[in-house]
Structure 1
């Protein structure tokens, strides 16, 4: 493991994304999505390292959003990461919320849903409440994210359903993300035996520890990010002689 500062990690993640030379996605915003998740102890760097492989190969174009039906919007990412598209999708959803009390954004065939964490926090700062949920493809556990207006960090519930895989898949797709945005507050679920609750207090404690002691990440992950970040320097050096001629 290696300890890095918040600013170091932001800088390297920004450069790593810029090295991909993509049209969709803003590097500074994406870096903050990664680091904000890492700061609360939820493996933002690990998710980003995994995402780098997807981002290098996936389509680089805007996403089509289907018109509102029954207060729901649907966007199909066709197997792409949410990293490059979520901020714009949320902006579009908020535009459609204007004359409604609530709206649901369903993102299908998407990856790296944990990295939605900090973009959803911004909604609470705008006086809105948000409830997001998805089914982890790795362990079939349901993740429920609830953050009410004005709060700084969400309540997270990881549910180990006592159901067969086919029963779970009939309720929720393995690669979907459902985000409900409301002008009213959400109630929290009753904690059952099969619920793991990560409270906002737990997340805040992890965040304070990271600010005080630095962010501890795997050496191999740090090297992958640095290698990706160096791509922007290589391309810059290759281009500069031409710009001088």
Structure 2
């Protein structure tokens, strides 16, 4: 079915609340999904892939700190979706970059990582240079690099595969984020390994895609939409139960 940006964001926000996200986390997660989709970067596909994992996770929980010094923070997301773990981790990196000029934040053991791009856009609008990168354990091994310039809410994005598998065999389920106050961090593709299947999206490309999708609307899989509606309906059930328990006259004139 075809939906508008506002419809997509609204149903996602209610669905995330139905899963157990706090109101703030639900709003952030919905914004990430809708932002990705309206820029043609597959927010709906990523949500469809991860929604069943979200149902198993239940209420979102904050990531825990593994290591921290003045400039570097390493966090453990406990194998959960980035949708419930992004805000605190990214805000921590943002505050440190504001104070120190540069910060590095590593989020380990998370999935749905592609959706973090929507939240990074917020940081760029607030005047922060941001680069994020991660690898996917596919065959072939692939890497995604995303770069935002301060004041520019649309990134340049590079996606490519590596022909040679590196010696590091650690599971690829993390994100590295570099933020800088006054230094342009736009990534350059310089590697000792040959890069293949290069896909690049520039800022003008994504701006044009957004204009097109805002006009034409976005296609959502019918089954996914039904799932989101079902999750959103949990809020109505809870509200009805609360209303019934509080119905009737109060015990004093101030009720």
Asked if these proteins are the same fold (TM beyond 0.5), I'd say: yes
- For 1:150, the equivalent position in structure 2 comes to 151
Which segment is superposed worse, 113-122 or 131-140? 131-140
The Cα shift of 1:43 comes to 1.5
Query: Aligned to 2:153, what secondary structure does the other structure show?
Result: coil
Preserved contact between residue 129 and residue 184 of structure 2 (Cα < 8 Å): yes
Tell me the SS of whatever aligns to 1:181: strand
**For the residues of structure 2 that align with 1:28 and 1:134, how far apart are their CA atoms?**
25
Counterpart among 236, 246, 249 of residue 243 in structure 1 = 246
Where does structure 1 lack aligned partners over 5 or more consecutive residues? none
Identify the structure with bigger relative contact order (alpha carbons < 8 Å, sequence gap 6+): 1
Helix, strand or coil: the match of 1:211? helix
2:37·2:44 contact (CA, 8 Å) conserved in 1?
A: yes
* Greater shift in the superposed pair: 50-59 or 27-36: 50-59
Q: CA deviation at 1:15?
A: 1.0
For 1:166-205, what aligned pairs fall within 5 Å after superposition?
167=166, 170=168, 173-183=171-181, 184-190=183-189, 193-205=196-208
SS of the equivalent of 2:162 reads coil
Correspondence for 2:14: 15
How far does residue 138 in structure 1 lie from its aligned partner after superposition? 4.6
- Using structure 2 for the length normalisation, give the TM-score: 0.85
Query: Structure 1's 24 and 69: CA in aligned 2 closer, same or farther, altered over 3 A?
Result: farther
Q: CA deviation at 1:20?
A: 1.3
Distance between the aligned counterparts of 1:160 and 1:85, measured in 2? 27
1:31 counterpart SS class:
helix
1:63 matched residue in structure 2: 63
Aligned to 1:212: 215
Unaligned runs of 5+ in 2: 249-255
Q: How many residues align?
A: 241
